[in-house]
Amino acid sequence: MAGVIVIFDFDKTIIDNNSDNWVVNSLGATALFEKLLPTMPWNSLMTILRHHGLFDYFSEINTNPGFVDDEGKLRIQPYHDFFNSASHGCKNLCPPNMCKGLIIKRIQDSMISEGKKRIIYLGDGKGDYCPSLKLGEGDFMMPRKNYPVWELIISNPPLLKAEIHEWSDAKELEKVLLKLINIVLSAEKKTPDLPSMDWKFQSVSRFPHEAFLQVLRVPH
């Protein structure tokens, strides 16, 4: 069965803010965080989705896993365990803690048994460039205009196989995304040309993330 999978980056894409800075500033820990930042991987706090009742709208969330230990301390681990190995080995500007290109590849592999699906990927940062290179013909890349991934893409557009559709703000994101989803669904033989709001996302199975034993030690 054909369909569409929509993949979002989080900061500056789903939310027009940096969630890490917002949480740290709200806790009054800005000075300490800036001191520790050079020694720790960046982590987006997805609790914002739960707070706004949006978590269940996503079939899968990939982020640096975190947990509160027995002492009540928040422990954050890298998605790709670069503490005990050579990380993911990617050379496409990915941070050591996560290669989104590998995540896209895993999702693509999972789609093989489900039939052809087209991917729409939305992002803004340098870390979104690697997954954009993994997209194939028939897929769509939606980079946020004048942000790092957009600048990387426009510097050499032929490197991407996917169609490129830029956006600038939430209103334009919605307009472009709904248009692309309707294009995909309308192309299916037995699917009528649907109004922009009369559709539902195809979903992929939720993949649990294995926890790493190594935790990030934060001095206090």
Active site residues: 9, 11
Q: Look up tokens 């995540």; give the residue.
A: 103
Give the 3-state secondary structure percentages of the chain, helix then strand then coil, rounded to 5: 35, 15, 50
Q: Is the dihedral of CA 67, 207, 15, 127 positive or negative?
A: positive
Residue list, annotated binding site for Mg(2+):
124
Instruction: Residue count of the chain, please give it.
Output: 220
Distance CA(126)–CA(111), nearest Å, equals 26
Residue 141, both tokens: 């890349």
Nearest CA among 90, 94, 141 for reference residue 120 = 141
Residue at 219: amino acid letter: P
Output the known binding site: 124
* DSSP secondary structure code for residue 32 in this structure: H
Q: For the chain, how far is it from start to end, CA to CA, in angstroms? A: 53
Q: What is the dihedral of CA 45, 149, 33, 10, to 10 degrees?
A: -10
